[in-house]
Structure 1
């Protein structure tokens, strides 16, 4: 294998931001996925594993030997190949795999001397890791960072006996699985680790890898797994005590408690029961407190399940099992008493229904944990135990509670960390109940109450302070790129606002248009605020960012409103709504100030139509863009067809008809098939993003980086784009597109109604029945788009599709 070029990290005064080459040792599920995410970040990565000791049957059939390079690199090659098969996809784009080279630890160990960062991700065995680091040091050069991805083995013990220089460059970097999607990275230094390396690695992980970093201590399972596994363990024990099933417990411990939908036992199935047992054993074997040891004892049922191979999703069954029945697939739940699977059932309790009606997550939590029914008592017990355990672990696992809260939010996807939960339910009230129940209150909490404080966090519009052992509050340092729109609103930086959107001054004479309607769906109030933004830009400001910090950027137009108007046959009102949307997007495109859209998460339908007219898009790496209107029986109605056409035609000679038709075909296929990108990088394939558009690895920095793009355009003397005539493929192109759709109809790939929708879309994209090569203005395309949209909205089958999406949240084929 060709040796990679040197990255020069920390050599000759270069900064850590210059990590250009990395090596990952261990091509298992986690190691390969880490290599994949490094490649996502643009880092050339070498993936190494051991040399196989035996040939596979396929290798024998090919006449290969153990000395063949393909055999010797088999394990690392298989790790790389697995990146193309796993779901969710570890790679932003398949082409990112080109940045990964494979090799083995015997032939290619010397390559480690030429990279900037070496990450160990081999089996969780201390002796194996120690032997590996002995070998690594033989080729190691000063300046190369070496880290372990262990989930709980002592970082210090791994490098005992290594040189002082090597130890100073060594630390733990615990990625959470899957590395692409999980925000948390725990950085675990030892007493020998150079502090400058720790701080620079943190900056690199946040900026380049897009991670949320917490500083952890070299203790069993660090922060997130220590608390998270404890919570899972006591939940398991409580389930058995209360004679409940995993499905009933999951009814309570999921979204009702601000946790992921996978709750407790579905999460265990996803993680793997064998992994859970391993992590539990690691804590039990390495802590001294008898009560803590007892909490991490693996219950008999769990041991039985692991012995039977019922270890979760990877084995096909765990606490849940998917089976095929007469009515299709069904998911069964394990009965803990009989050890047999039965149909799933939900726990029903008044508190669960009441919590759903709460306006905020904090209100929801309070109403649940203080309720006197089965769900409330279960939620209280789990919450109480986790809060007490978390507080008792300070300062053992972390010096501050912020690290603990962030670790649980970023590593386990909790809405609120333990101390944020404590503030939400009331520290005084909850502690009083805990005392009544005979619980021991940790020193941290006793100190808080003795100080007269009512909560762990004290917030003002300007700062957040947090309580520390010793009785003092200290300011929480925020990342300079982490602009909080909520905090700016608290600082009275709102310029204009209505029910659906707000205009916020984000500094430097830049506005941010924030959506805050339900699911950020577009309706008249948002359209009105976009128009207001254009007026404000023309008089007072340097530019505009369109962005928000909700769950998703925008899921599209308000479908319920469209359906209601269509069912009432209120065509003038619906026509006006669509016309206003089109006109407002047009004014956004041609306003004489720079506009940058900052999409993230689900950016669908009308969300794409808001983003496309912007001068630039600064997208989060995890952005899923698509014009998906055909799924609800419509076509884009806010100018999306025209905007995507313009992007595909950019730079094309309008007289070159041989080039023009294939481009229109691409646009037609993208919209007709409702294609959605699986990342911002893939969005470039569909031209939802241009090559010149930016991608932010860290979603917390998205608004800041979009603002910087606005300022850069303003400083370079921004001028609005000029309106241009658009060449259309006309009637000839229309027939070509319809023919393709007809062939799909005849082959059974689409329904008759799909064909009707496709024909309407083809007419719009082709420019109608005009002669091929005719130049038209944008308004012409908008007019025929609006006519087609309204026509489809009146179709009964389209209305059925809209109704089905609203009630079932999935498309209907009719």
Structure 2
């Protein structure tokens, strides 16, 4: 298959979705033009320009770095259609109106390059009908591409082909969406609302109906249907508020308008719930309008009450007994819920039963296989498991019998029986729809394997569904050593073998056992391997030093015991930096505190786009003590050396502020701005490609003749730099921006990064600065206010300001 090179993309429509799709394209370094209608007043491209400016204000930010909004080129349909000729991909994302979309297609058709792909971002309109509006020559290069909102953060992208779409076009677009955009791609059939919204919105409607049946409050339902159920923390009604009640109503209307009682046995459950209709009538559209099912008044969260058409105090939670039920193994859990006496338990069984029923009945019509349904619900609705996965885990035939009994008793949303394949044939014999051979396809009457596109070779350990084939990274490859804290292993054979070190501790915290294991792994790598990668599978990369392991040492041995641990940790960092083989950090998720220090001392970093990197020790009343402040000072000196100015302080400001304010990069791109990633480091869009790229980077460094950097002395800002920073800190304290203890900690940080009580320009070593770090760290761990912060974090998981 020829390579599909996307040099430039056009996004048509500068609304919420279009502008944010353009933003994500900029995040992954794809040049993009954002089109909209010509403005009636002011600059002709004013609508697109305003949308681009608004991107900088949105929270959560659609941009990895807010200033990158300026890289999006604004355009309008009146003046700039010729620009389409230079675009390899055109994504239409205007309002969900069939007539508006088809009119636009006719307008752009003469300007589409002969090789370009045209894709419509729609949440449920018929892709086949849309494609019919294009000239016949363009139809093979047209398909649907459904991003989920917000496009930067939501992993799911649904691709929908028409009967005329060239198969190679969909393959090319899947590869682009996967590796360049970092998405999880599901191919959906061209049916109303496709897969995720079809099942997800039907599930929300069914939940609302069961809420009425069991008389539960919205806050109680959200408590039950959030994390406790293995779903998005926002639950049901808060999710509706975030999505927008008008958006939800539009998706519901798509079901109502395009389906019927003859074509869908669940059609009766698609009626707009009375409470949703009332909120729409009142103009309460959810988060965007400030009120929906919930409204925030001051610090209080109120919930809507249909009877009074007003808001009443919220925050109610279900009895803890149901949370305990939901922690039980799947089979026991479902039986407990089905047989529960209380309304919350019966409600939970009802919504789970409905999800199994609906997914089974509609599988053949909306998806190629059960895999697409479960992955769509994972990636699009934040579920820990899709409906088929949970059903299979709980015992396929036993659950099926329970569901069918409820259908026969008239308790379900529809009287449609479960399909015959549920009870007999390959699925029943295998005990579920996901097997080593693949996932069940009712249309093909067989288990279908995953698509074998070349792009998926980059995912060495892709996200697997329950029952699927494929070894997890925890046992893959050849294990060279393993403890409870660390596994050292390799996937390679031959001369360019690379060692992999995977931390096993909770949250991948760095304990003394992890430190010892990494030291031994380095020695092995230097003796027998081309390089080493530190990668621990799922996020986080590491949340830092193991405080729970450090505190007992302090209680028993005091500050001296802690200093010994810190010195060992610092020695590990220097071993990493000066290792005789390249060491690459493979970062996904959080790299905080000691995790950040571990990463910055490696030769290179390969970071997933959604990596959050920073020195956060101030939050627990400490200073970075494993070389983080030394790194800031050294990098400032290195950057200053490239300048004509002699003052080090300007080059220290960003690093000092980041450490003193516990600032964390909100993306890998921002972490690069903070200095925790360098221009030579690699940022990848897909989390499952981090290991592949990190291994290749280690091999590339080794094959290019890697040598560790020379140890050098470097200048520091000295006591004059400390005095300048202290003056700013006093002003911040007097202004009420920081507490006395914050000021004290920040002063200690300034003392380290400036090199202590020495003249400006004094040359120092990393070991000298690390000694200053240890002194500051150990002094703080004995400080009562820092101990309050440490204990507060360990007990609540949240930083304490005192």
TM-score bucket of the superposed structures, by smaller chain: over 0.9
1:347 aligns with 2:318: yes
Q: CA deviation at 1:168?
A: 1.2
The residue number in structure 1 matching 2:466 is none
The residue number in structure 2 matching 1:668 is 656
Deviations 1:116-165 (A, max 9, x none): 22111111111111111111113333222111101100011113243221
571 and 450 in structure 1: CA distance in 2 versus 1, 3 angstrom threshold: closer
The residue number in structure 2 matching 1:455 is 432
The residue number in structure 2 matching 1:693 is 681
TM superposition score normalised by structure 1: 0.91
Q: CA deviation at 1:365?
A: 5.9
Residues 666-745 of structure 1: pairs in structure 2 closer than 5 A: 666-745=654-733
Distance in 2 of aligned mates of 1:46 and 1:421? 43
2:611 to 592, 601, 623: 623
1:579 aligns with 2:567: yes
Q: CA deviation at 1:541?
A: 2.2
Secondary structure of the equivalent of 1:624?
A: strand
39 and 664 in structure 1: CA distance in 2 versus 1, 3 angstrom threshold: closer
Distance in 1 of aligned mates of 2:584 and 2:216? 52
Deviations 1:441-479 (A, max 9, x none): 1234234567521122224xxxx6323335533433562
Deviations 1:719-777 (A, max 9, x none): 22222223222223222332332232233322211121112112111222123322222
Residues 357, 403 of structure 2: 8 Å contact kept: no
Residues 186, 216 of structure 1: 8 Å contact kept: yes
Secondary structure of the equivalent of 1:153?
A: coil
Q: CA deviation at 1:518?
A: 1.9
TM superposition score normalised by structure 2: 0.92
Distance in 2 of aligned mates of 1:662 and 1:364? 62
Secondary structure of the equivalent of 1:487?
A: coil
- The gaps in structure 2 that reach 5 residues or longer are 409-416, 463-470
Secondary structure of the equivalent of 2:192?
A: coil
Distance in 2 of aligned mates of 1:442 and 1:214? 23
Residues 603-614 of structure 1: pairs in structure 2 closer than 5 A: 603-614=591-602
The residue number in structure 2 matching 1:8 is none
Residues 745-764 of structure 1: pairs in structure 2 closer than 5 A: 745-764=733-752
Q: CA deviation at 1:566?
A: 4.5
Residues 388, 442 of structure 1: 8 Å contact kept: no
Q: CA deviation at 1:627?
A: 0.5
Deviations 1:580-633 (A, max 9, x none): 111122212222111100112222111101101100001111111111111221
Distance in 2 of aligned mates of 1:551 and 1:368? 32
Distance in 2 of aligned mates of 1:99 and 1:264? 37
Q: Supply the RMSD in Å over aligned alpha carbons.
A: 2.3
2:346 to 369, 374, 377: 377
The residue number in structure 2 matching 1:394 is 363
The residue number in structure 1 matching 2:11 is 24
Q: CA deviation at 1:656?
A: 7.7
1:806 aligns with 2:780: no
The residue number in structure 2 matching 1:291 is 265
740 and 658 in structure 1: CA distance in 2 versus 1, 3 angstrom threshold: farther
Distance in 2 of aligned mates of 1:726 and 1:370? 69
1:212 to 184, 192, 197: 184
Distance in 1 of aligned mates of 2:229 and 2:337? 9
Q: Which one is further off, 557-566 or 111-120?
A: 557-566
1:334 to 304, 310, 335: 304
Q: Which one is further off, 382-391 or 137-146?
A: 137-146
Q: CA deviation at 1:392?
A: 1.6
1:425 aligns with 2:406: no
1:48 aligns with 2:44: no
1:476 aligns with 2:446: no
Number of aligned pairs? 775
Q: CA deviation at 1:100?
A: 1.1
1:467 aligns with 2:440: yes
Distance in 1 of aligned mates of 2:543 and 2:331? 26
1:488 aligns with 2:459: no
170 and 365 in structure 1: CA distance in 2 versus 1, 3 angstrom threshold: farther
Residues 619, 694 of structure 1: 8 Å contact kept: yes
Residues 89-168 of structure 1: pairs in structure 2 closer than 5 A: 89-168=61-140
Distance in 1 of aligned mates of 2:645 and 2:103? 65
Deviations 1:348-377 (A, max 9, x none): 141312434x5x8x5896587556244432
Secondary structure of the equivalent of 1:426?
A: helix
The residue number in structure 2 matching 1:58 is none
The residue number in structure 1 matching 2:488 is 503
1:308 to 282, 287, 295: 282
Moved over 6 A (4+): 654-657
Q: Which one is further off, 122-131 or 730-739?
A: 730-739
797 and 663 in structure 1: CA distance in 2 versus 1, 3 angstrom threshold: same
1:226 aligns with 2:198: yes
Deviations 1:63-91 (A, max 9, x none): xxx4x4x1x32221111111111111111
Distance in 2 of aligned mates of 1:671 and 1:799? 19
Distance in 2 of aligned mates of 1:107 and 1:317? 40
- The gaps in structure 1 that reach 5 residues or longer are 1-12, 54-65
The residue number in structure 2 matching 1:260 is 232
Residues 7, 31 of structure 2: 8 Å contact kept: yes
